[in-house]
Amino acid sequence: MDLLGHAAGRGVVWADDRANEGLIGLAEDPLEARPCSLGRIAPSPLAADDVVANLGGLPALDGLEHRPAVAEERPVLFAHDRPQAETLALVALERPADPGLDLGLIFRCGVVLHGHRIAEHLDEGVGIGEGQWAEDESAGLEDAHGRPEHSGRRTTICGVTIYLDHAATTPLRREALEAMLPYLTEEFGNPSSAHVFGRRARMALDEAHETVAAALNGGPREIVFTSGGTEAGNLAIKGAAWAGKAEGYRIVTSAVEHHATLHSVRHLAKFGFEVTELPVDRYGRIDPDELAAAVDERTILVSVQLANNEVGTVQPIAELIGRVRVARGRRTLVHVDAVQGAPYLAIDVQALDADLVSLGAHKFEGPKGAGVLWVRPGTAIMAQTHGGGQERYRRAGTEDVAGAVGLATAFRLCCEERPETARRLRRQRDKLRDAVMATGGMELTGHPRDRLPGHLSLIVRDAEGAAVVVALDLEGIAASAGPACTTGSPEASHVLAAMGFPAEEAAGALRLSLGRTTTDDEVAGAVAIVPGVLRRMREGSSALAADPLGQGVGV
């Protein structure tokens, strides 16, 4: 089946020439219109008779008939052959004003399976053209339930939202899920138990430690599994601060850290620790000289991120850590928040020369609720949860074996695929970036080169990022105005503020973040959809700014 076009959330036009007959129809729910057996096709929002009446009268459409789909009594239109189905699609696409058809929606966006898209023709009001039919059948990519196969090349389904928010979270990859399933079912043992169930769970947990350690070039005893990146960061910062209190009370971090860091150090400040939040440049980078100047004999901890979640900037981490070492050797601990960076940047803890590194599994297609803190051997941290002696007394509580296994599996694969993933993401991101920037009124944020490969962050001038995200969602693009953690709150981004953007500019922040499973089709879909939405948002926002209380909403 080929999807000819869609209006996200509103309907799709599709065609199917299986069994040597052309088929086109309107499906109300795009999710239901994925390649599948005819019986699962959603009901048309229109009575089929009305469709025939609206489209009738054209010679090419003579003999068009409608009848219930095979398995269920739902109306679909059958063309006699593929050319007739194509004609029908063209007519449908060219006659947006047809009453009852409302196919004008279809002009707004559209993607066809397997790289064939009609999207670029939509602005001109042209329907599908020569050579735009998909040549390969998609049937082979379905699983037993009629859903697209989850594979490295995820089948792009038109009408399904294109997910461009991988900086917020990523889907759980199938391999990780499969590795986890036994530990959520029959292998349910507590790793601390003496019996066979406990031993099996312990074995899996040990292997997860080893897998993660190997991927980081560290040792298995240096791995502490946590409930996620936030807990890992909290344990690193609070644990190092309290353990080092006898040596000093100063903590140095930067103004663009994740809230897991900033709120942790500000919490510590209430207990007598002195916190320095280093400024950053226009791109969000810390100046190594300023870091060196901020570190003194009372500084027990430096916490910096590898890459920024909001603007994608990668810190000059080697130089930053090097300057701390020159000044203080190992007397000042260095925590690297690698939650956002680890999926895309190789981490060798020996070369990095940090003391603590935190990771969050769901950023690299692992499960939510699983994270890691790597702790250099000999580094004292004080546990922040108390109870049993799990994770070498560093994190009490029965271990989430399935989470650890899922994290380890996802991280191993992530690291193996990383060079290839990063290359592809950079190419895809640049394509999307060029399309977005061509619309005008956009300003890129973050470092132009030293940035995460799939990360595109910008300011849409005159518009509000939160409003843009709503509009994009309604058009089938999932994006973010900033970090997912602060969605809905009115505060401006602390990252952009630290980078020198005034609040009114920062309000237009938009983030499109690609991930390993992002397909070229999805990028093409985004390229077709996003610029138009951004243009509309800029124009609409300017109109609203002139009339904020809607004193002339127009009839």
Largest CA-CA distance found in the chain, in angstroms, rounded: 89
Q: How far apart are CA 106 and CA 44, in angstroms?
A: 15
- Residue 31 interacting with another protein (CB under 8 A): no
Site track 493-522 with another protein (rule: CB under 8 A), x = hit: ------------------------------
Instruction: Figure out which of the listed residues 6, 10, 395, 455 binds another protein, where binding follows CB under 8 A.
Output: 10
- Residue 552 interacting with another protein (CB under 8 A): yes
Q: Which residue is catalytic, options 109, 158, 414, 485?
A: 485
**For another protein, the closer CB: 108 or 395:** 108
- What is the Cα Rg of the chain in Å? 27
**For another protein, the closer CB: 350 or 542:** 542
Cα torsion angle, 245, 248, 253, 255, sign: positive
Q: What are phi and psi of 227, to 5 degrees?
A: -85, 5
Instruction: Figure out which of the listed residues 474, 486, 497, 505 binds another protein, where binding follows CB under 8 A.
Output: 474
Total number of residues that touch another protein (CB under 8 A): 28
Q: Is 281 exposed, middle or buried (0-12, 13-18, 19+ CB in 10 A)?
A: middle
Name residues contacting another protein, limited to 419-448 (CB under 8 A).
Answer: none
How open is the CA angle 234-391-414, to the nearest 5 degrees?
75
Three-state secondary structure readout of 187-256:
CCCCCCCCCHHHHHHHHHHHHHHHHHHHHHCCCHHHEEEECCHHHHHHHHHHHHHHHCCCCCCEEEEECC
What would the two tokens of residue 221 be?
């005893």
Q: Least Å distance between CB 553 and another protein? A: 5
Active-site residue flag, 485: yes
Question: How is 272-285 classified by DSSP, letter by letter?
Answer: T-EEEEE---TTSP
Instruction: Name which of 132, 147, 149 is nearest 15 in CA terms.
Output: 132
- Residue 9 interacting with another protein (CB under 8 A): yes
Q: Least Å distance between CB 519 and another protein? A: 24
What would the two tokens of residue 100 be?
């009852």
Instruction: Figure out which of the listed residues 21, 45, 94, 461 binds another protein, where binding follows CB under 8 A.
Output: 45
- Residue 144 interacting with another protein (CB under 8 A): no
- Residue 259 interacting with another protein (CB under 8 A): no
Does residue 197 contact residue 348 with C-beta atoms inside 8 Å?
no
What CA–CA distances, in Å, run from 524 to 30, 108, 550? 18, 14, 36
- Residue 540 interacting with another protein (CB under 8 A): yes
Instruction: Figure out which of the listed residues 354, 466, 479, 528 binds another protein, where binding follows CB under 8 A.
Output: 466
Q: How far apart are CA 249 and CA 329, in angstroms?
A: 17
- Residue 168 interacting with another protein (CB under 8 A): no
- Residue given tokens 């860091």 in the structure block: 261
Stretch that binds another protein, among 214-222, 334-342, 350-358, 541-549 (CB under 8 A): 541-549
Q: Least Å distance between CB 442 and another protein? A: 17
Instruction: Figure out which of the listed residues 53, 346, 444, 467 binds another protein, where binding follows CB under 8 A.
Output: 467
Give every strand in the sheet of 509-513, ordered side by side: 442-444, 455-460, 509-513
Q: Least Å distance between CB 74 and another protein? A: 16
**For another protein, the closer CB: 229 or 482:** 482
- Residue 146 interacting with another protein (CB under 8 A): no
Name residues contacting another protein, limited to 99-118 (CB under 8 A).
Answer: none
Stretch that binds another protein, among 59-67, 237-245, 387-395, 534-542 (CB under 8 A): 534-542
Which parts of this chain interact with another protein (CB under 8 A)?
9-10, 45, 466-467, 470-471, 473-474, 488-490, 536-537, 539-541, 543-544, 547-555
